[in-house]
Structure 1
Amino acid sequence: MKKLSLLLILLCVVTVFSLAGCETQTQTQTSNTNQATQDTAKTEEETAEPVTLNWFSDVSFWNPPMTWSSDPNTFMGIITKKTGVKFSMNIPPQDGATKLSLMLVSGDIPDVITVADPGNATNIISKLVKSGKMWDLDELIKKYDPNSHLLKDFPNDIKKALIKRDGGWYAFPSHISSDDLRKTYPPSSQYYIDRNKYQFNDTIMVNGKLLKQAGIELSSLSTEQGLLDALKKIKDSNLKVNGADVIPLLVDGKNYWDTTMRSITSQFGGMNVDKNGNYRDLIYSSGYKHALEFLNKSVNEGFIDPSELTMDTNATAAAIVSGRVFAFWGNTANTHYADIQTNQPYWQSPAPVLSSTGAKPVFGKHYSPSVGWMQTFISKTTKEPEKVIKWLSYMSSNEGLYDSNGIEGINYTLDKNGMIDITDEGAKNDHTKTGFWAYWPFSNTSWENHVFEAPTDQLGPGGLMDTAVTTAFARSEKTVIFDNSALDVPPGYIQSKGLGNQETEIRNFVQAEIAKIITAKDLSEVDALYNNMVKKATSMGLDKIDEAKDAIMKQQSKEMGIPMMGINE
């Protein structure tokens, strides 16, 4: 019996170890099978032919690489490797919004669409939303990429603002910054807090090198007459750079009617609100008229060449690169890369330039959650919705944002806190070739202010020179700052009032008229042309448009708790 019992025990032990061995072998085989499956899937994903998508933009001066590269040392190559997509880019040099409108009608719609619609000038955002051919991003993400970070960390305050504007979350915005986003990405220093509060690109900047050569003090340019005197001194001095005459005053090319005029009008005290708190178009303000008079004087005195009014952004930047420009008044963002390329750390700003009328300079800043600048839509006609939303998720993720700065260890390094330090190699980057820093539609201002230390370098976007120039106006104790959030007009609002066509016609009319006014023979003709322009614009329906905008401004002013009142008039 003892022998039998021992035999049974031995059999049991053998059986247990046999079963354990079988289970271990089975687990090993299963693990090997799973790993083989994953490796196969990974290999298939990496070796699969990338999907080509069409990307259209109406932002004519956006200049990413137009030929998609598979080079792993470019951002395009990295994007393709990590998302399986590449792009055929379509960025018309002009009339992009018109061409996109025709695409909506024809049904030949790009997979990805990025637009900028300042002041609802073209109403293209409203057209895209109302076409019914754009994906609601909530629906698209939940259906094709339910684990996307965008469902968890896209800032709620910006999302609400987008939904309020469009009736749904259709657009992914660029250059986003908000209270909710700053909770996720706190600014790394007071420098970025101040920049968020005061920075604005439309301003005046002067060439400190030429300023010194001409023996002019920066402070003397802080009045209208002082600036005109300085421009005359520059013109009469016959200063030359590389054998070419210095340009006394450069406006923002063909954008002057928007950026240059808006900035001068603001510094000369013009607002969209009168002394009774009623909305009125900017052309009715005395600051706007005085801005026209200043530009007319500058043309007639030879400080501005009329050919500047038709220059494109590349030509404006080229003029800055040449070192020949004494003063530039317009969107300074159109000169940033020129600064990097030509090592020009000498730009300064005398802003505000005080009007000879005595009006207080006014600075309107959007302090409510911003809907950003460039707006990216995904078309329902795309044949690759899963690919395109995973690309969108990647581009907006921490991984994608870090990758957008280059290759770690080559273009940048990270310190122990994850802060980015651009290397010398990274500073030489040509975004038009490598794609690094080129994809503006995914610029995340709060993220950038979180992962970069306050700069110590003068040059580059966000550098000390850039910040000093673009915050000078708002930082001045002479400038009156107000929150202009209530002035936002929702896309499609004017169309809903039956005034869309009139608004487009009036905008085109005014744009043409101010060119005539600026190049008029004298101030007497300026006065006559200006009065005729205002009278004609009013008869075309501008007063009715102002009534509609006044109603929405007052509604939003009440909802936001932001009182609106004219400061000078």
Structure 2
Amino acid sequence: MNKKRLSTLLALAMTAVLSVGLFSGCKKDTPSDSPTPTETTTPSTGETTAPADVEPGWKGDTSPITFDWYINFSWFASKWDDPIAKYITEKTGVSINYIVPAGNEAEALNTMLASGSVPDFITLGWWEDAVKKMIEGEMVLPLNELADKYDMYFYKVADEQKLAWYRQDDGNVYGYPNASSSPKDFEKYANLKPSNQTFLVRKDMYEALGKPDMRTPEGFLNALKAAKEKFPEVNGQPLIPLGLHEFTDTGNYSLEGYLQNFLAIPFEKDGKLYDRSTDPDYIKWLKTFRTANEMGLLSKDIFVDKRAQMEEKIAQGRYFAMIYQRSDMSAQLQALYAADPNKVYIAVDGPANSNLDAPKLAGDGLAGWTVTLISKDNKDPERAIKFLSYLISEEGNKDLYLGKKGFTYDVIDGKEQFLPEVLEVLNSDRTKFDKEYGASYKHWMLMDTNMNLQWAPPAAEPAKQLEDWTKGKTVSYALYDGIDPTGTSEEGIAASTMAQEWGKTLPKLLNAKTEAEFDQIWQAWQAKRIELGLDKVSAYREAQLEKNKKKLGM
């Protein structure tokens, strides 16, 4: 899971007072429609609940239907053609035709929105401007209205806090998240839900260098330098001392929210949002990366490589260190481990603040990772809301995660869990697992990562080490979800423009010839974002934060 994938949010976070990049919008909690006679309404929030005995609506019609489902991630290559997908189709009658952008996601989305027509389902990062644009342009249908009309079961399986979080000013809910955790969920599952954010090193190289302390700028630079000198090549190709997420037109979130979380920079000080991007420790570390570039320790590849090229280089073990999310490299990690357990990547302590405090890494937020919406052009809105209800239910999550009983799982030692031979493939060859089975988050659009904990097997090496390292360092930043302005409002345009400007500025900072040139570029950036409307964006974010606090009872 790219849980990924959040560059726009995290770049926006750089433009003002930053939020973490994983997680949702906050809207009023008053629905516009009166409940039907079969509904009940909670007076304090206006939330609609379903009768306890309501049946799953999808069972009423299992005739064949194919929905077009747009996934706004160019790296997504899955097809609805594996055994578990076919099992779900046999069960519900629904098949899925995935549609994925061939190149730049933002361009593909803008072209699609300009056409005025979108596919049956749309899944994209909740932070994307397109979410608001589709809602404002009446291109998507309110889930609550569809549920009122066609499927009261939706209210039985939907999480009320998630609906409240995504309720818009008009009282409607247009999207439902995946990988979402409320603060209460996070507290309940704190010891089970690790962060996805890691600082990684290649085990054999790191140990050969004497396990250097990389928490300080000096130690970090010395380790990169020593790695390049001792291991100039990997299988005949140049070593890449440091790997990052890809640079986009809005920045690089390895050097934004990830780095700020490693430095344990707070989101608030004295009850007000803190501009994390101007924190002295953060600036010091950006300058450290500039110095690394001056020393020849930042490969030109990292400025141009996209995810496909990065995955290839991870599989080759060409990076010494990485600031990266562990789930994005699971297949490559397994392949490296199978070939040689000593040449795998492991998580270690990386960049830290001046006090060497432990990092405070982001766990799942209430907004989740992506949000799924139903198009106004949907070929069958009734089947669509019923299928969505199935997917977010425990039955649907179980089907997508565990698969089919007797084929991928069974009751073993009193617990529903993967068959041993299936688990072996899952832990050793993710690509083969996806093709031969198709369970365990291959189709992740509406996965409930909390619900799935009841079926999840214990983490196995090499992933276990990465996961275990984040435990005790993972915190909830749900309070700061969705505070950045989006859409075509004055604040939204200002934030978007600043994000684009930051995307141009970050590479310039790293490529500055001297620290003095860095300072000049940095000061120009600070002046530019003020010129573009930082005050308006900051005021908007403060107001949204107050709404979030009220919504979460804080």
Please say if 1:417 is aligned against 2:417: no
Please say if 1:327 is aligned against 2:321: yes
Q: In structure 1, which of residues 141, 145, 150 is the aligned counterpart of residue 147 of structure 2?
A: 141
- Higher alpha-carbon Rg: 1
Give 1:512 shift: 0.5
Q: Distance in 1 between matches of 2:514 and 2:445?
A: 44
Q: In structure 1, which of residues 350, 353, 360 is the aligned counterpart of residue 351 of structure 2?
A: 353
Please say if 1:57 is aligned against 2:54: no
Matched to 1:168, the amino acid is N
- Native 8 Å contact 2:347 2:465 kept in 1: no
Matches within 5 A, 1:177-216: 177-178=181-182, 193-196=190-193, 199-212=194-207, 214-216=208-210
- For 2:217, the equivalent position in structure 1 comes to 224
Matches within 5 A, 1:33-432: 50-65=64-79, 68-69=80-81, 74-117=83-126, 120=127, 122-146=128-152, 148=153, 150-163=154-167, 167-178=171-182, 193-196=190-193, 199-212=194-207, 214-217=208-211, 220-254=213-247, 257-273=252-268, 275-343=269-337, 346-355=344-353, 357-358=354-355, 360=357, 363=360, 365=362, 370-404=366-400, 405-415=402-412, 417-425=414-422, 426-427=425-426, 428=429, 430=431
- For 1:468, the equivalent position in structure 2 comes to 468
What's the Cα RMSD here?
3.2
Give 1:492 shift: 5.4
- Native 8 Å contact 2:177 2:367 kept in 1: yes
- Native 8 Å contact 2:483 2:540 kept in 1: no
- For 2:3, the equivalent position in structure 1 comes to none
- For 1:39, the equivalent position in structure 2 comes to none
Q: Deviation digits for residues 8-46 of structure 1, max 9, x if unmatched? A: xxxxxxxxxxxxxxxxxxxxxxxxxxxxxxxxxx9x988
Helix, strand or coil for the counterpart of 1:440? coil
- Native 8 Å contact 1:58 1:95 kept in 2: no
Q: Distance in 2 between matches of 1:386 and 1:561?
A: 35
- CA change 1:549–1:389 in 2 (3 A) is closer
- CA change 1:536–1:429 in 2 (3 A) is closer
Matches within 5 A, 1:12-31: none
Give 1:528 shift: 1.3
Q: Distance in 2 between matches of 1:348 and 1:165?
A: 45
- Native 8 Å contact 1:173 1:442 kept in 2: yes
- CA change 1:555–1:384 in 2 (3 A) is closer
- For 1:28, the equivalent position in structure 2 comes to none
Give 1:337 shift: 2.3
- Native 8 Å contact 1:270 1:286 kept in 2: no
Which structure is higher in helix share?
Answer: 1
- Native 8 Å contact 2:157 2:393 kept in 1: no
Helix, strand or coil for the counterpart of 2:192? helix
Give 1:157 shift: 2.0
Give the length in aligned residue pairs: 482
- Native 8 Å contact 2:241 2:299 kept in 1: no
Matched to 1:209, the amino acid is D
- For 1:24, the equivalent position in structure 2 comes to none
- CA change 1:360–1:64 in 2 (3 A) is same
Matched to 2:66, the amino acid is T
- For 2:20, the equivalent position in structure 1 comes to none
- Native 8 Å contact 1:280 1:550 kept in 2: no
Matched to 2:165, the amino acid is A
- For 2:56, the equivalent position in structure 1 comes to none
- For 2:22, the equivalent position in structure 1 comes to none
- Native 8 Å contact 1:283 1:534 kept in 2: no
Matched to 1:520, the amino acid is A
Identity across aligned pairs (percent)? Answer: 23
Matched to 2:130, the amino acid is I
Give 1:467 shift: 0.9
Matched to 1:386, the amino acid is E
Q: Distance in 2 between matches of 1:526 and 1:247?
A: 23
Q: Deviation digits for residues 461-480 of structure 1, max 9, x if unmatched? A: xx422312433744xxxxxx
Matched to 1:126, the amino acid is K
Q: Where does the alignment leave 5 or more consecutive residues of structure 1 unmatched?
A: 1-41, 475-480, 563-569
